[in-house]
Amino acid sequence: MTSPLAVVALVGRMVVLFSLLMLVPLAFGLTGHDAAEHAFLVSTGVTFLSGALMSLATRRFRRELQPRDGFVLVGLTWLVLPAFGALPLLLAIPGLSVTDAYFEAMSGFTATGATALSGLDALPLSVNVWRCFMMLIGGLGIIVLAVAILPLLGVGGAQLFKAETAGPMKDAKLTPRIAETARGLWTVYFVVSVLCFFSYRAAGMSWPDAFMHMCSTMGLGGFSSHDLSFGYWNSPAIEAVAVVFMMLSGVSFALYFVAWKQRSLSVLWNNVEVRAFYLVVIATVALISIYLTVHGVYPDFQESLRHTVFHVVSIATTTGYASYDYAKWPLFAPLLMILLGCFATCAGSTGGGIKMVRMLLLLKQSYRELVRIVHPNVVNPVVIGGAAVSPRVIQSVIAYMMVYGASLVALTMLLLFSGLDVVTAFTAVIACVNNIGPGLGDVGPSVNYGGLSDFQIWVCTFGMLLGRLELLAVLVLFTPQFWRG
């Protein structure tokens, strides 16, 4: 049996931790004396007191988490924290609705990058910092952060880590203790983030812009402080920095941790998922560059290559940056990029989508079935990286894909029912469930989700949560069996 009050006690501690993170945008606000100082002071105080009261009121119910409690805690945390994350937005942006504020905060935490806001250049600096900083926190997961730095929580760290991390194979431990593993991942994440920050600054961004875009690059979220996104600079150097760190963030941070421990980069290239990720992205860049040149979208191949590299990497890694309205390209190119965003990134990265390893397993399982048609008695296990994959993992991947497909259809039908056109509805669902951000049509790169109705915004918000927690971790909470003893 789950213990709801025990979970609430831990959520209270998470909320207290979260209130301390609000000090980062508050510091920017106080330094620049912007108009949102008061909003962050009030939000920090309200969030801290709320978390403290939740924790104190339920402290006698604290106990070691059971496996199913981990899923409840993760789901509840990812519902509650965006509500507090939306508070400073509500207080600082006149006329912003609760629906749009929660959508914006959920988009930040899930590193989706879908926005309902316009006039970003005119927003207070602290507000833009907060929007982007939420992506840095949500990138590897606030739960993993808590397991890393708050071992005194006394929770079942393995259950939290398994519920929070992405990918079908979550049971392999990098270190004997799960808290040590989480700390190692966040250490790698922090080091690469610092390199990204200084690289943006060296390429020509201001210090605040470098910080904000470091946050949204490492989280593969795509929020920007400018309405034109990277078109604001129109700088090949800045775009090159973004491409490098988006590609780095599209690979499992666990592999970087192992490479650091072994003092060797061979572990990266020897990983079949990483090779597939890089080869698919490179092949797509080549194809679309040639396609755009042939169709005369750009005057020469060099110009086509520059814009293609940036946008393919941005969408494939589910970041969602744009330097140009790629929706104006011939339809084949943006659709192919969005398709790539559904599966290209590696499990254990900060990217969204179904992950490359699942696609590889599905392709190998499909080939295996074709072989069995010809040779019914052949022993032909599915092999990834030289190791046979257990039938249970294969079954899990197939079940995931069935739920994934059903979720896309159901959410698309809801948006169609609400009056959206088919291109906008389908690409909005694809973009939200896969945490890509911009879609096509009325939610394309040159517009945003602000034109959608409240109902449509809530559908997209639920899609972002489903995608970030990999569908099954959310949907299992709605099954009667989960709540039975």
Supply the pLDDT for residue 148: 46
pTM for the full model?
Answer: 0.91
Q: Using the predicted structure, report yes or no on whether residue 485 has a pLDDT greater than 80.
A: no
User: What mean pLDDT is reported for the chain?
Assistant: 88
Residue corresponding to tokens 């739920």: 403
User: Is the Cβ–Cβ distance between 146 and 1 less than 8 Å?
Assistant: no
Instruction: Identify the band that residue 319 occupies on the pLDDT scale cut at 50, 70 and 90.
Output: very high
Instruction: Identify the band that residue 450 occupies on the pLDDT scale cut at 50, 70 and 90.
Output: very high
Mean pLDDT value across residues 249-260: 88
Q: Using the predicted structure, report yes or no on whether residue 381 has a pLDDT greater than 60.
A: yes
The torsion defined by the Cα of 116, 22, 77 and 14, in degrees rounded to 10, comes to 180
CA distances from 147 to 261, 304, 342 (A): 21, 45, 29
Instruction: Identify the band that residue 158 occupies on the pLDDT scale cut at 50, 70 and 90.
Output: very low
Rounded-to-integer distance, Cα 258 and Cα 267, Å: 8
Specify which of 34-43, 158-167, 407-416 reaches the highest per-range mean pLDDT.
407-416
Q: Using the predicted structure, report yes or no on whether residue 427 has a pLDDT greater than 90.
A: yes
Supply the pLDDT for residue 162: 52
Residue corresponding to tokens 């988490």: 65
Mean pLDDT value across residues 347-374: 89
Q: Using the predicted structure, report yes or no on whether residue 371 has a pLDDT greater than 70.
A: yes
Supply the pLDDT for residue 184: 80
Mean pLDDT value across residues 139-167: 50
Supply the pLDDT for residue 457: 98
Instruction: Identify the band that residue 159 occupies on the pLDDT scale cut at 50, 70 and 90.
Output: very low
Three-state SS letters, the chain: CCCHHHHHHHHHHHHHHHHHHCHHHHHHHHHHCCCCHHHHHHHHHHHHHHHHHHHHHCHHHCCCCCHHHHHHHHHHHHHHHHHHHHHHHHHHCCCCCHHHHHHHHHHHHCCCCCCCCCCHHHCCHHHHHHHHHHHHHHHHCHHHHHHHHCHHHCCCHHHHHHHHCCCCCCCCCCCCCHHHHHHHHHHHHHHHHHHHHHHHHHHCCCHHHHHHHHHHHHCCCCCCCCCCHHHHCCCHHHHHHHHHHHHHHCCCHHHHHHHHHHCCCHHHHCCHHHHHHHHHHHHHHHHHHHHHHHCCCCCCHHHHHHHHHHHHHHHHCCCCCCCCCHHHCCCHHHHHHHHHHCCCCCCCCCCCCCCHHHHHHHHHHHHHHHHHHHCCCCCCCCEECCEECCHHHHHHHHHHHHHHHHHHHHHHHHHHHCCCCHHHHHHHHHHHHCCCCCCCHHHCCCCCHHHCCHHHHHHHHHHHHHHHCCCHHHHHHHCHHHHCC
User: Is the Cβ–Cβ distance between 100 and 73 less than 8 Å?
Assistant: no
Instruction: Identify the band that residue 406 occupies on the pLDDT scale cut at 50, 70 and 90.
Output: very high
Residue 279: Cβ-neighbour burial (10 angstroms; 0-12, 13-18, 19+): exposed
Minimum mean pLDDT range among 100-109, 391-400, 448-457: 391-400
Supply the pLDDT for residue 176: 56
Supply the pLDDT for residue 479: 84
Q: Report the candidate in 70, 54, 63 with the shortest Cα–Cα distance to residue 8.
A: 54
Supply the pLDDT for residue 180: 75
Per residue in 72-121, pLDDT (tens digit) is 888 888 899 999 999 999 999 999 999 999 999 999 999 999 999 999 99
Q: Report the candidate in 316, 311, 342 with the shortest Cα–Cα distance to residue 328.
A: 311
Instruction: Identify the band that residue 436 occupies on the pLDDT scale cut at 50, 70 and 90.
Output: very high
Supply the pLDDT for residue 177: 64
Specify which of 22-31, 100-109, 146-155, 351-360 reaches the highest per-range mean pLDDT.
100-109
Supply the pLDDT for residue 151: 42
Instruction: Identify the band that residue 160 occupies on the pLDDT scale cut at 50, 70 and 90.
Output: very low
Supply the pLDDT for residue 2: 56
Supply the pLDDT for residue 255: 86
Supply the pLDDT for residue 428: 97
Instruction: Identify the band that residue 171 occupies on the pLDDT scale cut at 50, 70 and 90.
Output: very low
Mean pLDDT value across residues 431-460: 95
| 152: number of Cβ within 10 Å | 7
